[in-house]
Structure 1
Amino acid sequence: MTLAGQLYAILDLGYVPAEAAAEVTRALLAGGAGLLQLRAKGHPPEEIEALACQLLPLCRAAGVPFIVNDYPDIAARVGADGVHIGQDDGALAPVREVMGPGKIIGRSTHSPMQARAALEEGFDYIGFGPLFPTPTKLGRPGIGLSDIAAVQSEVGREIPVFCIGGIKRDNLPEVLSAGARNVVIVSDLLTAPDVQIATRQVSQAIAAASLAGDR
């Protein structure tokens, strides 16, 4: 999976009620999200699967990969493009077996060492963070910006590195200046008065920074 200058949007049911999931997903896609993940911590698997079935066609129509968080079995059953697993969710091989060939599997990483390990194990992309403290990772301190450039240079040459955690429109320039090429933003988009406009602002800023970095 070769991606640069992409916004990875997460439809998080901690911020969006299930009944608004499709509407918000449409706004994220229309705003330029390059990937979209369904994250539903604490929700019943059957609800997650039903929502995945609802959101997948929207992503297909937009030509955007659809990723399910945490549940390889659900991702495989609904035909999602991939799954994202946490640092403590086990090895890649069993997940690859469940998902089948050609699917995207991402790993959360919280240090350069974990980022390198995910690359060596064969993950298709990594999330790197949280850069700043965030309500979605309560109790986990932010790792800061100092390692972004090194991880992007080393790991990002092989697989996409998505910086994540507490990133908002007001600190995005700082994150991009530190070397980020791909970014995940959650609450700042999902709670924006106009999700599509906010998403468009972010996706354009990321793309511009990536273009400038390629010159």
Structure 2
Amino acid sequence: MVMMVNCGLGVAGRDTLRTRPLPWAAIGLTAIAVGGVLLQLLWSGAMDALDADPAESGWWREFTSVFMQNGGLFGGLWNLLTLAAVAALAQWYWGGPLTLTFFLAGILLPGRLDALLGFGDGPSADPRNFAGSSGATYFLGATLALALLTRTRLPKEVALAAGVPALGLAMWLAQDNGHGLVAVYGFALGAVVWAVRSRVARPAAGRTV
């Protein structure tokens, strides 16, 4: 996560953060996540009703579970802070709509890709363990690593950006830690989106000449 945040700072510009506009998408996502925590504090049945336990029915669970936290006080606080930071950096680079799209993809794609590729049985590779925002945050953060890799030739920055999917894959292989695999997925989707945007931008640039 620290590497992803540093990648985001690299593409957003460390010296420009104070002059950036308010990241409304990041504020919205963080507000919903804080609301989820408050709901858990006020309603003892919130986790049972809103988590992603596959033994329970409810289409909404896939979405609401992301805004439940089950890592205790420090784990929940860490998830909220990293969500706010990563989403803000992502919005300043990708824009608000694409940031929200990536976050939604981080909710929907990992489990489906796991099943398609035969990685585990059902949600076993899901780092959220039925609840928590860390999986979608790692997915979103990995797109910032891809962004930095496409924008720099400095060896340290290249190593930092390439290290996100490489270490993520190593972490998954060594520890079966789903956070690493989710980071690889996010990096790959970021690459696809970047390639499409670059291809669309070339003809547009040609027409203005």
Identify the TM-score tier after normalising by the shorter chain: under 0.3
Which structure is higher in helix share? Answer: 2
TM-score scaled by length of structure 2: 0.25
User: Which structure has more strand as a fraction of its residues?
Assistant: 1
Q: In terms of Rg, which structure is larger? A: 2
| TM-score, normalising length: structure 1 | 0.24
